[in-house]
Amino acid sequence: MESLYNSFGDKPFVGFWRFRKPGLVIKDPEVVKTILFQDFKNFHQNGFRVDPHLDPLVHKNPFMIAGEEWKTTRQTLTPSFTNSKLKPLLPLMEEVAAELVQYLRTNCHTCGPDGFEAKDLSSKYTMEMVATCAFGIKGESFKNPNAKLREMTMQVVRPGFIKNIEFMIIQFLPSLAALLKIRLMPKEVDEFFRSIVRDVLADREKKNTTRNDYIQNLIYLKKKAEETGGSYTEEDITGHAVTFMTDGFETSSITMGFIMHHLSQNPHIQEAMWKEVKKAREENQGQLPFEVLMELPLLDQVIHETLRLHPPLMALEKVCTTPTTLRASDGTEVHAPRGLLCVVPLRGLHKDPRFFHDPERFDPDRFSPGRKSDIPKCTYLGFGGGPRQCLGMRFALQQIKLGLASIVENFVIKTTPRTPKVIEQDPTYFLACAKDGLWVRFEERKTAG
Ligand code: HEM
């Protein structure tokens, strides 16, 4: 998609064919605005769908559904991602951040000259975050490289060659997928997640306990539905907890991995981050309260600049559901028929020199209060945009900021002989991923604490 984007200069649209179906790559931010915001109702459907009978848990994911079903689900889940629900998660998250620091302390001297693969390291942290915050369990990711939760999740988010082909059949030849009964989530994984949720519900019921986590919010939704004659089932709880895992775990670990890579190459930015976190702690009696953590400006800029260079979801795919005339800023018009696939190429837009000067350079200052407003609207969309913008954005920012703050307070991230000079995309993977890994090492900060 990126080469298609780059091959057509300043043209606002590029047409393409996929399995005999026409598609349109959008290169003009005005048209992106039309699709994501102004005429959202005509493009409310994502280009990904699964069969609700074959993949009932995946079908609960707001990303996979459309129309009224999406609207109701999104409205039901949105309150769980407000600050008032995220703030109580902080103590649980701090336990995981402490585990990460401990893990690095124990292993940073013995990990060998190549250091750690940053994405793999981050995935232990984000897996543990989702385990405790969404499911209310321990994932054992730091202790056991073959932990069951990780292994099961990987089967869905990191498929191998055969799974990739099955995935393509599900997306592009859905009737064949139905005929062959090909599912995105293997039966064994489906049953594993159902059993986790069943055990957590039974345990809380038996002990009559509650916990400040996401699954508790879902339990309240079920109780409320029972009291008011509505419908919210155990399968809904499981599906929505699984959504947290499938959408939140890998995207966040990809982002953290790339951040560590860039920090290893930019010691001055790392130093400035350390000073920012240190000052915030000093001003808050040694604590990093939720409101303070979420507002640390440099941490925020570093995350967004990393997402600009490496958006985990490299493109958004939206289906036109009502014929619409798309008008570009140079006056070109395209009449989008029903069913047309419109691709918003996040990576292409994010690296377009028309919108970002010296686009390959890692420069978090682009997102500073003084310069942020220079970024043209709808050219930076790391978390997407419009009514379907990432539901878990604030949770993602919270966990990444806490992880980064904990790392820079205690360690200095350095390059290793294996740190890549140029990052090549892994062609077998549908999310952003460095083909040869991102290698970094950690030196304990002498002035820690
Ligand atoms: C750095 C981490 C993350 C990134 C970069 C990211 C990015 C995105 C993007 C680009 C979209 C598509 C938005 C659109 O269509 O306009 C999306 C959707 C979504 N994300 Fe995230 N995401 C992240 C973390 C999370 C987390 C932690 C969750 C946890 C629940 C989550 C849940 C979702 C859901 C449910 C949707 C579908 C929303 C809808 O269609 O209504 N994401 N995300």
Rounded Cα gap, residues 447 and 78, in angstroms: 41
The string of pLDDT tens digits covering residues 211-235 is 999 999 999 999 999 999 888 999 9
The whole-number pLDDT of residue 371 equals: 96
Q: What percent of the chain has pLDDT over 70?
A: 98
Superfamily of segment(s) 39-311+382-444 = Cytochrome P450 (1.10.630.10)
Rounded Cα gap, residues 42 and 130, in angstroms: 34
Known binding-site residue numbers: 390
Residue 384 CA: which ligand 1 atom is closest? Answer: 16
Top mutation candidate among 132, 390, 394, 430 for ligand 1, by most atoms within 8 Å of CB: 390
The residue type found at 169 is I
More confident residue, 410 or 17: 410
- Report the candidate in 226, 232, 257, 254 with the shortest Cα–Cα distance to residue 312: 254
The whole-number pLDDT of residue 60 equals: 95
pLDDT at 161 over 80: no
The string of pLDDT tens digits covering residues 352-404 is 999 999 999 999 999 999 999 999 999 999 999 999 999 999 999 999 999 99
Q: Output b/e per residue, 365-380; b: 16+ Cβ within 10 A.
A: ebbeeeeeeeeeebbb
The whole-number pLDDT of residue 159 equals: 58
- Report the candidate in 21, 52, 10 with the shortest Cα–Cα distance to residue 343: 21
The whole-number pLDDT of residue 449 equals: 46
Report the pLDDT averaged over residues 336-353: 96
The string of pLDDT tens digits covering residues 95-123 is 999 999 999 999 998 888 899 999 999 99
pLDDT band at 447 (very low <50, low <70, confident <90, very high): low
Report the pLDDT averaged over residues 306-324: 97
The whole-number pLDDT of residue 160 equals: 66
pLDDT band at 348 (very low <50, low <70, confident <90, very high): very high
pLDDT band at 178 (very low <50, low <70, confident <90, very high): confident
pLDDT band at 7 (very low <50, low <70, confident <90, very high): confident
Distance 171 CA to ligand 1 centre (A): 19
Query: Within 6 Å (CB) of ligand 1, which residues are found?
Result: 62-63, 74, 243-244, 247-248, 251-252, 255, 307, 312-313, 316, 382-386, 388-392, 395-396
Range from 3-17, 40-54, 266-280, 431-445 carrying the lowest mean pLDDT: 3-17
Report the pLDDT averaged over residues 73-78: 96
Over the chain, what is the mean pLDDT?
A: 93
Top mutation candidate among 58, 68, 251 for ligand 1, by most atoms within 8 Å of CB: 251
Axis crossing angle, helix 234-265 with helix 297-309, rounded to the nearest 10: 100
Rounded Cα gap, residues 161 and 123, in angstroms: 21
Range from 30-44, 91-105, 152-166 carrying the lowest mean pLDDT: 152-166
pLDDT band at 176 (very low <50, low <70, confident <90, very high): confident
pLDDT band at 448 (very low <50, low <70, confident <90, very high): very low
Range from 15-29, 168-182, 218-232 carrying the lowest mean pLDDT: 168-182
Which protein residue has the closest C-alpha to ligand 1 atom 17? Answer: 390
The whole-number pLDDT of residue 333 equals: 96
